[in-house]
Amino acid sequence: MEFRYQETLTWIIPGFYLSVGILVLGQWFDAFSVLDFFAPLKIRNGSFEGINTILIFLIPLLSFIIGWLINGIAGFLFRCDILFGYPVYAAFDKLYPKESGISSKDKMERFDHAKYILEDLEKYDRFYYRYIFSRNMFVAQLLLLLSAPIIYCMDSSEGESCQALIKTLFLLLSLCMLFFFLTYRDLNTHARYIYNGARKKIENS
């Protein structure tokens, strides 16, 4: 299996972001300490030894695996039309207003057909990977938002005010909306370039 570096980054960065976010939330809510996870990492004579070296290399590997799972969840949401189908329909309606009344399924089939017509899709990779990165970051932020109440409930202290949770949820929700906007914009841009490219190729053939 061959991975492009752009594709790898669209997995590793969201995976690392989610991992660090969970650790920060755990520290913020006093549910667990970040230092507990890095306790085995002891430096001796300015270098890591034994299992410590292995743990250092496991950090990007873990980020890659989590990012792969995030990418799978995002792809599922896209295929199910839950969140990510509408930018494609909006791009179609803008370019083909006379055919805007067709079903969502037909619009998606037209999008797939447009990609099939374009033999050289590498020229559109810049827009595609920008969308994939935004999409995966949105899903990572969404998972972080959903995990915040769970991590908060792990705090064993009694009488803890929920004010910190409310402020945290507001911040996470704001970032989630930002990533959703970026995802919508990038997918809409990617779809418009695909539709335009296919239409120009048909007109020139």
Query: In the structure, what pLDDT confidence band is assigned to residue 191 with cuts at 50, 70 and 90?
Result: confident
More reliable by pLDDT, 176 or 100 = 176
pLDDT greater than 50 at residue 97: yes
pTM exceeding the 0.95 threshold for the entire prediction: no
Domain-by-domain residue ranges, the chain?
Answer: 5-204
Residue range 133-140: mean pLDDT, rounded: 94
Contact assessment for residue 143 and residue 67, using Cβ atoms and an 8 Å cutoff: no
> What percent of the chain shows pLDDT beyond 90?
27
Residue type, 57: F
